[in-house]
Amino acid sequence: MKRRELTGRERVRLALRHETADRIPIAMVCAGINPPALHELERYLARERGLTAADYLKPLVDIVEVAPPYRGPTLAERCDVWGVVRRPVSYGAGAYDEIERFPLAAAETAAEIEAYRWPDPEWWDYEGLRDRVARARADGDPCLMIANGNLFEASWYMRGLENMLVDAMVNEGLFSAIMERVTGFYASFFSRALAAAGGEIDLVFTADDIGDQRGPILPPDRWRRLIAPHHRRLNEAIHAHGAKVIYHTDGSVMWALDGLVEMGIDVLQALQFSADGMDPEAMKRGWGDRLCFEGGVSVQTTLPFGTVAEVQAEVRDRIDVLSRGGGYILGPSHWIQAGTPPENIAAMFDTARDHRPSRAS
């Protein structure tokens, strides 16, 4: 008798328990396919397989994001709930949003921070989230995730990255005043959302890029003292509702792994192995018993510039190394960019679906 195929939720839950499933879970956490690349994938799948991208991807992707409906004040064009204004910037084949107004850039005192119009968790409809969760759960039973607890990033989006980095060195009071307000918002927002969902949301996505291509973006001691405690507080609020924390950071972050464990994350996401010192073998060997991992297929090197065979080899290697003893969810290391060959995108998903690690791995 053929064994029943696991649902996305079952598959991911096994990974979170460091157990193995019928296949490696696949996700697009903090990732997606840039519109020009998606257009090319649509054309490729229609021509080669008679499929739409949605029909191809839906049975493969095991994590689906849900969010409560927004019901707060009407926002100005291109302005988010934090008061940050963005504008689209073209890079030829596509566009991305770049911040053009940092509303707290000129603030000089903690009193100015307190007087700012902060978003209110009441601006979201948590009863409406229940309906969205029920619909998502009924559509194939995927693992459900809510986002986006980016504490340092949300802070510097308002303050400006250079200002926040300077504050971390010479104006800790102002730095901490902003971080405190952002953390308080997300702790309340996620607590309300998770309570409304009644245990149906398994993952909460949080984030802060703390590394660049070569190393930390601020001194590690400042990160441990000024940023990590806020994430620890947020993670405790999330864990109180039975959900797991999937934490995103790009860059070279081997230096931070012990601190991330102490901070209380459950899954490390992105895995930019093209950054300096990022070693999947060392990461799994040193932290694989305390962390799960998600991501790892390079959108910086292999996917856009490799051959199909090279993509297949990288996917097999990631699975063989990072799934050893369970605890791995495969995905791209970030958004798949315009110009990425569609056959490479399909090769990533096909290989992840079909490859089974050997017992010797």
138 residue type, one letter: A
Residue 168: strand, helix, or coil: helix
Span 158-211, pLDDT tens digits: 999 999 999 999 999 999 999 999 999 999 999 999 999 999 999 999 999 999
Domains and CATH numbers, the chain: 8-71+111-354 (3.20.20.210)
Enter the tokens of residue 150.
């980016």
165 residue type, one letter: L
Of 230, 220, 218, the residue nearest 163 (C-alpha): 218
pTM to 2 decimal places: 0.96
Span 297-316, pLDDT tens digits: 999 999 999 999 999 999 99
Q: Is the pLDDT of residue 361 over 60?
A: no
Span 109-141, pLDDT tens digits: 999 999 999 999 999 999 999 999 999 999 999
In the prediction, which pLDDT does 359 show?
53
Instruction: Quote the CA–CA distance of 158 and 101 in Å, as a whole number.
Output: 8
Which of the 8 DSSP states describes residue 76? P
SS3 content of the chain, % helix, strand, coil (to 5): 45, 15, 40
